[in-house]
Amino acid sequence: MTRGRRKVRIAITGAGVSGICLAVKLKQAGIDDFVVYDRGKSVGGVWRENVYPGVSCDVPSRIYSFSFAPNPDWNSYFARGNEILSYLNSVVEMYGVGPHLRLGEEVVEARFTAGEWRVMTSRGEESRWDFLICATGLLVQPALPELEGRSAYRGVMMHSAQWESGVDTRGKRVAIIGTGATGTQMTCALAAETEHLYLFQRTAQWVFPKPAQRYTAIAKTLHRVVPGFSRLADRFWRVVFQGTISAAVVRAGWQRRLIAGVCRLSLRRVRSKELRRLLTPPDNPMCKRLVAASGFYRVVQQGNVTVIGEEIERITERGILTRDGVERETDVIVFATGFRADTFMRSMEIVGKSGRTLEDFWSDGPKAYRTVALPGFPNFFMLVGPNSPFSSESVMRIAETQSDYVLRWIELFKSGAVAEMSPTQEASDKFNELLRSGMPGTAFSSGCTSWYHDSQGGLMVWPWTVRMHHKMLSRIHLSHFDIRQCGESSKSGSGSERGS
C-alpha cells in the first residue's frame, strides 16, 4: 500500500470515560474503522454501574470533563453520578460515537497472531484488528469479603456497584459494611430516611469535608455564554486541585500539612469522645485515598445511626452478628467494600507475541511501560493502566493524555513507518525501577495498606506530579521500542524521538 495512505483498524474494550475519550479523538483524527466493545448495555463504565444513593465524584466537576467538551451545566461543585453519566452520553451523541459501539458484547479473548489482533467476543464473534486498546478502567470487579452465612440471609443483600433500583430503604433497618468513599456517601444519603442505619467500620478513614455548594442559575449562564469566564473557572479549579491535593499526595510540604490539619480539625466535630476515638484512623491522612464527603461527621451523630467497629463474625438469617456476640437485625445489607483494583482487564484472556499471556506477565503484580504499554504485546495500549496518576488527577484528563500518546503511534502506523511496536523489556524494567524509587516520597507509602496496593503489596500509584506524567507522554521514544517495519522482522528502534 502506498506510504501515507495505510488503513488502520482499531478495537477498544470499554465504553467508559477513557474508551469514549479515545473514540472521540479517533473521530477527530479522521479515523472511522474502529469499534468500542463493552459488556454493559449502555455507555458510562463506573458511572453506569454505580447508581447507589449519594454517588458522586470527589474531583471538582469543572475539571471532571474533557477539554474538547467543556460542560457549562454542572449543577454543583462536585457532580452527582447521574449527572456525569448524562454528560458522557451527550459526548457520545455530540461526536457521533454511537455507530462504533458494540454494547452488550464483551471481549473474552484477544490474541496477537500474524501481525494483527484476533478478538473473540461473548457473542462468539471473531474479528481482526491492527490495534487493541484496553480502556476497561481500574474499578471493575467488586470485592466482597469472605463472610459466613451470606446465603442464609432473608433480607436484601447487594454490593454497592450492583444496587437494585427497586430497593426501598425508607423506614427500614439498613447495614452498610465499609467506610470508604462509597460507604460515607451512602451513609449521608440514607441516614435521614431509614429507621436505623448500622455502619460497620472495618478500618477508620480520614474524611475531608467536601463543599456541597450548587451552581446558581446566573453562574451556569455565565459559563454557557462567556467562554472566558468558563476557561478562568476551569483554570482556577485545576490550579487549586493540583496545587493542593495532587501536590500533597506525592511530596511532603505545606499542602500535606494543610490537608492533614483540615481532616483532624473536621474530626473534632464529633462530640462524643468514644465515637471520635472509634472514627480516628490509625494512619496519617492521605496514606489511603482521601475520602471526601459532605456532612459525614454530622450524620453519624444522629440518633438513628450506629457506627460499629467490632469485627463481623457472620451473616445470620436476620442480620449481622459481630465477634462480641451482638446480633443486629436488618432489612438491607450493602457491601461498600470497593473493588479489586489490581485486576484491570484481566477478565479477558490476552495473549501477546510468542504466546505469552497477560496473566503470566502480571504474575507478580500489574506493571507497564510508562503506564500505557507492555513488552511482548505489540500494537497494544492501555488507558488508565497501572501507575496512572488516578490518585491525583481527573480520570478525564488522564485519558486525554494517554489517548494522545496512542494516536501518535497510530499515525506512524498509518504513515507506513511502523507495522508493529511494543516496548522493550529493558525500557519497561527501567521505568518500573524508577517508579519504585519514587514511592517513598508519597503519602501512600507512610505505613498503611490500601486498594492502591496490588496483591504483592506494590503500590500502583503515580509518585510524581501530574505535569510530569503529561510531559513523559508528550512524545514517543523509538529507542524504547521493538519495532517491525512493513516487510521486515522485529528490530529495536533507531534511538530517535517523535514529538507531537
At 283-319, the pLDDT tens digits run: 999 998 889 998 999 999 999 999 999 999 999 999 9
Element spanning 198, H or E:
strand 196-200
Q: Is residue 486's pLDDT more than 90?
A: no
Which pLDDT score, from 0 to 100, does residue 465 have? 93
Q: CA-based diameter of the chain, in Å?
A: 76
Which pLDDT score, from 0 to 100, does residue 197 have? 98
Q: Is residue 328's pLDDT more than 60?
A: yes
Cell of 360: 503470566
- How much is the mean pLDDT over the chain? 92
Which pLDDT score, from 0 to 100, does residue 6 have? 86
**Dihedral angle sign, alpha carbons of residues 59, 63, 66, 71:** positive
Cell of 18: 477513557
Q: Is residue 340's pLDDT more than 80?
A: no
| pLDDT range class, residue 5, cuts 50, 70, 90 | low
Which pLDDT score, from 0 to 100, does residue 489 have? 56
- Weakest mean pLDDT among 232-236, 279-283, 378-382: 232-236
At 413-463, the pLDDT tens digits run: 999 999 999 999 999 999 999 999 999 989 988 878 787 777 777 888 999
pTM: 0.93
Please name which of 346, 268, 459 lies closest in space to residue 108, comparing C-alpha atoms. 346
Which pLDDT score, from 0 to 100, does residue 364 have? 87
At 140-159, the pLDDT tens digits run: 778 888 899 999 999 999 99
At 227-276, the pLDDT tens digits run: 788 888 888 988 889 899 899 999 999 999 999 999 999 999 999 999 99
Which pLDDT score, from 0 to 100, does residue 411 have? 96
| pLDDT range class, residue 495, cuts 50, 70, 90 | very low
Please give the Cα distance from 334 to 354 (Å, whole number). Answer: 44
At 90-141, the pLDDT tens digits run: 999 999 999 999 999 999 999 999 999 999 999 999 999 999 999 998 777 7
Please give the Cα distance from 460 to 207 (Å, whole number). Answer: 22
Would you give the DSSP letter of residue 452? T
| pLDDT range class, residue 498, cuts 50, 70, 90 | low
Element spanning 434, H or E:
helix 425-438
Which pLDDT score, from 0 to 100, does residue 487 have? 65
Please give the Cα distance from 82 to 209 (Å, whole number). Answer: 22
At 10-38, the pLDDT tens digits run: 999 999 999 999 999 999 999 999 999 99
Comparing 260 with 485, the larger pLDDT belongs to 260
Please give the Cα distance from 147 to 313 (Å, whole number). Answer: 8
For the chain, list the domains and their CATH numbers: 10-141+340-498 (3.50.50.60), 150-335 (3.50.50.60)
Element spanning 49, H or E:
helix 46-49
Mean pLDDT confidence for 367-386 = 97
